[in-house]
Amino acid sequence: MTTAAPPRRAPRIGTLPLVLLLPVVVCIAVFYAGPILFAIWSSLQREGTTIGESGFVGAAHYLSLFGDRRFHNSAFITLVFTVGVVAATYAIGLGLALLLNRGFLGRRIVGGLLIIPWTMPLVVVAVVWGWLLDYQFGILNYLLERWGIIDKPIGWLTDPDMALWSVGAANVWRLFPLAMVTLLAALKSIPQELYEAAEVDGANRRQSFLYVTLPGIRSTTVALVLLLAIWAFGRIFTIVFVMAGGGPAGATETLVIQIYLEAFRYFRMERASALGVITLVISAALTLVYLKVSRDRTA
């Protein structure tokens, strides 16, 4: 006759782990939750309100922004910048991942060199690209003129029609290693038997790419595109600001740049807070979608 095993008790959590976590919780509350709550409070106050005063104006700043042509322009620039950077970064990353997935002499060395842009500080990337694209002394204009491609220097950072694409190119150069490594890992996970079966069925390289490779990396592609969109939308401030500062004539004034200018150039903190809350909500929505996709991939 067998006896039932006694029920297992859940292990007790002592106070030591909670004490060890306390500094992290305090830091998160002070440096993350605190500024967010203050920004929300400030966005609902009239301009010039200090802590302790009552200057509640509700959604007045938000309504003012939605009717502001400058806000519409910044939102459009942010959308164009995000879509362009994500598309170019993914295309370059996929192309290099396909290259590195094939066996050739020196593949590891090439792969190591291609990762270098991701390891460089953002300020260094911005300064170096600013030198390369300088109107008068930039090496890019010098080479293009010497090779006879252009007759006069191009204002990569001074022409409103070129500035956004120039800072976008610098951001793509900084981000493509992330896409390359992520997609290379996804390509490695595709079973080789699928390619062999496609070859037996008479598929050429283009068909194998369309019907084996792309479906095999679909879930990784969705997660990667969302991650790149989060970076391009709300995280990449340094390169754009150092290279162009929102100019010329507002051509590179994305939402994060406009937040900075409103707060520290025009000293309209309440308006900047409202912009920050709007940007935070959009970034949070993208982040939630990214987390859901990542969880579905691992499920």
Q: How far apart are CA 157 and CA 256, in angstroms?
A: 19
Report residue 201 as tokens. 């069925």
The model's pTM is 0.86
Q: How far apart are CA 278 and CA 276, in angstroms?
A: 5
Q: What is the pLDDT along the chain (299 residues), one digit of tens a residue?
A: 555 556 666 566 668 888 888 888 888 888 888 888 888 888 888 877 666 666 788 888 899 888 889 999 999 999 999 999 999 999 999 999 999 988 788 888 998 999 999 999 999 999 999 999 998 889 999 999 999 998 999 999 999 999 999 999 999 999 999 999 999 999 999 888 988 888 888 888 889 888 999 989 988 998 899 889 988 887 778 899 999 988 888 899 999 999 999 988 888 888 999 999 999 898 888 888 888 877 776 66
Q: 3-state DSSP: the chain helix, strand, coil percent, rounded to 5? A: 70, 0, 30
**Taking the domains of the chain in order of start, what are their residue ranges?**
17-58, 61-298
Q: Residue 17 burial (CB < 10 Å; 0-12/13-18/19+)?
A: exposed
Q: What's the angle, vertex CA 194, arms to CA 193 and CA 200, rounded to 5?
A: 85
The CATH number given to 61-298 is 1.10.3720.10
Structural contact between residues 134 and 127, judged by C-beta atoms closer than 8 angstroms: no
